[in-house]
Amino acid sequence: MKRYLIFVFLFVTFGCMQVNHDEKVVFNRKEWLNGNERIRGKMIDNIINDSILIGKSKIEVLNLLGDQGDTVGNLSYQVDLGLKSGIMGFGGAWLFNLNIHFDTIQNKVFEVKCND
């Protein structure tokens, strides 16, 4: 019984930890366009922190990131940041959206956020 409790304690303690060992990747247009949601998710920090899209027009953003289906208003791209949903991560990938907001007067990117 004592071993069982120790096992359960260790499983819960370490099984619930979500450690992301993936390296962050510098944005690369070719890899973004050819990559899946996980590849794109690795580039999010670089896109947001280095303000790569700030000040760009919608056409420039679409040329960099590709057409995501809806080009009216703001743009949104689904990405996988490496987090899992559900109890202890058994629910699968927890997908997020890279949301790109345009100024309505100049039609230039003024904000880029990543939300679930």
In a domain, 1, yes or no: no
Closest of 19, 27, 96 to residue 56, by C-alpha: 27
Contact 82, 114 (CB under 8 A): no
Give pTM, 2 decimals: 0.74
In a domain, 14, yes or no: no
Half-sphere exposure of 59 (CA within 13 A, CB side): 1
Q: What range does the domain containing 77 cover?
A: 22-115
Mean pLDDT across the chain: 82
Residue 75, beta-bridge partner list? 100
In a domain, 15, yes or no: no
Report the distance separating Cα 97 and Cα 59, nearest Å.
Answer: 19
Report the distance separating Cα 18 and Cα 3, nearest Å.
Answer: 25
In a domain, 10, yes or no: no
Domain total for the chain?
1
In a domain, 8, yes or no: no
In a domain, 2, yes or no: no
Is the pLDDT higher at 55 or at 8?
55
In a domain, 57, yes or no: yes
pLDDT number for residue 3? 53
Q: Which tens digit of pLDDT belongs to each residue from 31-88?
A: 999 999 999 999 999 999 999 999 999 999 999 999 987 767 899 999 999 888 767 6
In a domain, 74, yes or no: yes
